[in-house]
Structure 1
Amino acid sequence: MAAPHLHTHEATWPEARRIARQAARRLGPQVQPLGDDALGTALAEPLTALVDLPSFDSSAMDGWAVAGPGPWWLTGQLLAGQGSPALLRDGCAAPIATGAVLPPGAVAVLRSEHGRTEHRTDGTRLELREQRFAPRPGQEVRRRGQECRSGDELLPAGAVVTPAVLGLAAASGYDELTVTARPRVEVLVLGDELLGHGLPRKGRVRDALGPMLPSWLRALGAEVTSVRHLLDDLGAVREAISAGSADLIITTGGTAGGPVDHVHPVLAAIGAKLLVDGVAVRPGHPMLLAELPTPGPATAPARASAAVPGGGPFLIGLPGNPLAAAAGVLTLVAPLLRTLAGHRVPAPYAAPLTEDVAGHRVDTRLVPVVFDDDSAARPLRFAGSAMLRGLAAADGMAVIPPGGLRAGQETAVLDTGMSAAAWGSGG
């Protein structure tokens, strides 16, 4: 039987990113305890305040809670963690620690360095060191609800869970968060010529993508379930793709039209829907995006999944050359993962170029750049499709439209996401 015909669509670079972003649907929600497993995921629902923050009036400084104008007579002691204190009468003060409950009757807190005490036979007297230190009403006091009121939206759905988000959730009384499931990704590294260790030698090159992609994908918020190295064998490639159980399969190499480039024939044979077949970008032109047939119950992952039209699973075929593959990650992988993971689209940023950059006649170019002290983008050498030296030193990838740009002109700069912590940046 003849393999089904695949509709092909070579896309412009902006169009390819849009297709990748819109092809998928957000994965289902899951509940995660506060901790490392939640880091890098996106909130599946807004984070709302469970209580007022602070939930009581408290001292912002070590010092004395004071009632009325000074001088004051000292009474008692107020420490963090204590319950409701007694009324502080006018003309009295009580030593208070940072975070301790402000007693009823107190109007302000006098900082410890702004007052001095004098022990007398009838008690201990507190005075100002200087009149300019006289506390104003509410001074050094954290008022209840100063940060938020119960029911306020603290963060919207789609916010990436960072260490600070964990801290905010804990401070608000949460023990767990409802987040979007982390996309599961399998990586298939194709090529007879690849070496897994040792020095490159004639006809053989070291595999750069096997070490590079997994940590990069984790930084983009994915869970990498496996990395497999395959020879250029049609049957092996078809078996690996057909047996995949992840939300996204990424292949490297085998996407062009050479005699051992098997990705296209396999996709045709299994009835995949090809969404992007080639992108007008340099490097990285022979990349592709396909929606795979939905796996049956025996192979579907036991997890929250969007097993509906537009829910995948998906396959992204990256070129085998390292910088071309990196361009494919920025063009197709990052936008698709962002949608699956429920991450918001990051705000773009632009920078002026420090020098002229030649452009392709019709294709977009992605060029590694570093920022100078004036936040201008300086193009780096070693930007060939097989080179990683420029990318390894880069702060980002400048988007050069067809025809090129002159020095001083602004252009979009893509954050690669490589410098993010391993728990994810959203891409």
Structure 2
Amino acid sequence: MISYHQALQALLAHAQRLAHEPCSLGESLGRVLAQDVASPMALPSFDHAAMDGYALCAHEPLLAGSEHDVSGSQAAGDAARASSGRAWEIMTGARLPDGLDAVVAVERTQLLATAEDGTPKRIRLLDPLAVGANVRYAGSDVAMGATVVHAGTRIEPAQVMLLAALGVTRVSVVRQPRVAIICTGKELQADPTRPLAAECIHNSNGPYLLAALSAAGTRVVSCDTVDDTAHTYARAVARARDAGVDLIISTGAVSMGRYDFVPDTLGELGAELLFHKVAIRPGKPLLAASLRDGPLVMALPGTPMAVAAGFRFFITPLLRALAGQGGELTRYALLDTPQQPKPGLRHFLRARLQQAPDGRLHASLLRQQQPFRIQPFAQADAWVVLPEDAGDGAAGTLVEIASLQPDQPFTMAAHCGADHQDMSP
């Protein structure tokens, strides 16, 4: 049995970055950039007014009380005009007329004269005015040629806004990983529309992995449910290989029981074993292997929280590596529930978060942490990670936390009846 970090290092050493492909900006949300994006233009592309008011030439500072004739009006979208050095009425976002270099807000002026149609003809300044006042200069947001989004960035709505403002219509993104899911167990009933047989259970691992992988930006090629025989599992692996997947995730049949056939079957298929059994809870029997023709295999124990922990703390880092992304930021919270974890194991525990008045995050462990229990996972806000050498943890201990799903912000939604207690493993 190896440590979590040793296992993760062995797994990531076999992660080969996926190829890139072109993608329209409109379809890029959630995709990972494969190449840096350099700005094709300056942003803003011209000097313009930051507010409604009057544009003036303030090369020599203008004094409060000074009066100025207004030559015309400039709205957003109007072409460039010559100012002849005189003031112009101007609207937010409008290009400054040539020769003018400052804008005074309309409310900081006194209107002295208007034309018959009501347009301003002469104003008085209520405050001094200097060059650059209320002007947004060309390139002040983005300089032409500057790198605006780096490779490895997951494209979110903010990046879409920036790239659209720069006129970028296509980007190079990492190809989505192709994943196959294989759930083992003759007790699993894959079709939820059928009456549940007395000896069966609904398959929850498959739908969970399908949802989690889809949310992580992967392409799930298949999701098979097979019985407890080696040959049906081998056939499912063969179908996944023929489909050209990058990763096979299986659940169940990976421990040491008479029906735990996955390790031997993968060996018979010529897979290179990367590790089997990791010092973690839940999910200790977890196995990773590499098939000769390329696909990696992550074989997870069948209990629901072993699947959830295996996905979050092994498959998520693997998917990031395939996309050319670095590791996630480590975040921390203060533990409100005293713990006495078993030494030598890394514990992944479900917790609720609360923000104290001083702004610090607190984590309270949910009452039932047994790996077969699903409801506490649905009530949780985050994972609490206790390392192998954590020792006894009193209330107030700073602990590592992770979001329930990758690239997901922490939430602290209220749950009626959420229950907490000291849950020492």
Q: TM-score, normalised to structure 2's length?
A: 0.86
Indicate yes or no: 2:381 matched with 1:387. Answer: no
Aligned partners of 1:181, 1:148: CA distance in 2, in Å?
28
Q: Report the secondary structure of 1:35's partner residue.
A: helix
Deviation of 1:351 after TM superposition, in Å, equals 1.6
Partner residue in 2 for 1:288 = 287
CA contact (8 A) 2:78 2:95 kept: yes
CA contact (8 A) 1:382 1:388 kept: no
Q: Report the secondary structure of 1:327's partner residue.
A: helix
- Selected match of 2:304 from 295, 301, 322: 322
Partner residue in 2 for 1:18 = 9
Partner residue in 2 for 1:297 = none
CA contact (8 A) 1:82 1:101 kept: yes
CA contact (8 A) 1:368 1:397 kept: yes
Aligned partners of 1:184, 1:377: CA distance in 2, in Å?
35
**Deviations 1:195-249, CA, capped at 9 Å, x for gaps:** 3326766432221112211121122231222212222222111011022121111
Matched AA of 1:376 = H
- Selected match of 2:50 from 43, 46, 60: 60
Partner residue in 2 for 1:406 = 394
What pairs up with 1:26-175 in 2 under 5 angstroms?
Answer: 26-36=17-27, 38-68=28-58, 69=62, 70-83=66-79, 85-90=80-85, 92-120=86-114, 124-128=120-124, 131-132=126-127, 134-175=128-169
Identity of aligned residues (%): 30
Structure 1 residues 396-405 or 312-321, which shifts more? 396-405
Partner residue in 2 for 1:262 = 261
Deviation of 1:328 after TM superposition, in Å, equals 0.7
Deviation of 1:178 after TM superposition, in Å, equals 0.9
CA contact (8 A) 1:88 1:106 kept: yes
Partner residue in 2 for 1:237 = 233
Matched AA of 1:104 = D
Deviation of 1:40 after TM superposition, in Å, equals 2.0
Aligned partners of 2:350, 2:196: CA distance in 1, in Å?
25
Matched AA of 1:203 = E
**Deviations 1:64-98, CA, capped at 9 Å, x for gaps:** 22234443222232222233x222233x3223232
Q: How has the CA–CA distance of structure 1 residues 261 and 89 changed in structure 2, closer, same or farther, with 3 Å as cutoff?
A: same
* Count of aligned pairs: 390
**Deviations 1:42-75, CA, capped at 9 Å, x for gaps:** 2112121111111111122233222344432222
Structure 1 residues 201-210 or 280-289, which shifts more? 201-210
Aligned partners of 2:114, 2:166: CA distance in 1, in Å?
45
Q: How has the CA–CA distance of structure 1 residues 242 and 75 changed in structure 2, closer, same or farther, with 3 Å as cutoff?
A: same
Matched AA of 1:197 = P
Deviation of 1:32 after TM superposition, in Å, equals 0.7
CA contact (8 A) 2:32 2:154 kept: yes
CA contact (8 A) 2:312 2:405 kept: no
Deviation of 1:396 after TM superposition, in Å, equals 1.4
Matched AA of 2:95 = V
**Deviations 1:364-393, CA, capped at 9 Å, x for gaps:** 111111221221111112211111222212
Structure 2 portions without partners, runs of 5+? 410-425
Deviation of 1:415 after TM superposition, in Å, equals 1.8
Aligned partners of 1:181, 1:318: CA distance in 2, in Å?
25
Deviation of 1:120 after TM superposition, in Å, equals 4.6
Higher relative contact order structure (alpha carbons within 8 Å, sequence separation ≥ 6) = 1
Deviation of 1:14 after TM superposition, in Å, equals 2.2
Aligned partners of 1:329, 1:140: CA distance in 2, in Å?
51
**Deviations 1:160-215, CA, capped at 9 Å, x for gaps:** 11111122122222111111111111111221112332676643222111221112
Q: How has the CA–CA distance of structure 1 residues 255 and 78 changed in structure 2, closer, same or farther, with 3 Å as cutoff?
A: same
Partner residue in 2 for 1:3 = none
Structure 1 residues 322-331 or 399-408, which shifts more? 399-408
Aligned partners of 1:389, 1:274: CA distance in 2, in Å?
34
Matched AA of 2:155 = V
Q: How has the CA–CA distance of structure 1 residues 345 and 96 changed in structure 2, closer, same or farther, with 3 Å as cutoff?
A: same
**Deviations 1:270-304, CA, capped at 9 Å, x for gaps:** 1001112111111111111111121xxxxxxxxxx
CA contact (8 A) 1:23 1:336 kept: no
Indicate yes or no: 2:171 matched with 1:177. Answer: yes
Structure 1 portions without partners, runs of 5+? 1-9, 295-311, 422-427
Structure 1 residues 175-184 or 105-114, which shifts more? 105-114
Aligned partners of 1:34, 1:352: CA distance in 2, in Å?
41
Q: How has the CA–CA distance of structure 1 residues 242 and 61 changed in structure 2, closer, same or farther, with 3 Å as cutoff?
A: same
Indicate yes or no: 2:343 matched with 1:366. Answer: no
CA contact (8 A) 1:357 1:400 kept: no
Aligned partners of 2:335, 2:135: CA distance in 1, in Å?
49
CA contact (8 A) 1:360 1:404 kept: no
- Selected match of 1:188 from 182, 189, 192: 182
Q: How has the CA–CA distance of structure 1 residues 18 and 179 changed in structure 2, closer, same or farther, with 3 Å as cutoff?
A: same
Aligned partners of 2:208, 2:222: CA distance in 1, in Å?
14
Aligned partners of 1:203, 1:361: CA distance in 2, in Å?
37
Q: How has the CA–CA distance of structure 1 residues 99 and 251 changed in structure 2, closer, same or farther, with 3 Å as cutoff?
A: same
Matched AA of 1:212 = Y
Q: TM-score, normalised to structure 1's length?
A: 0.85
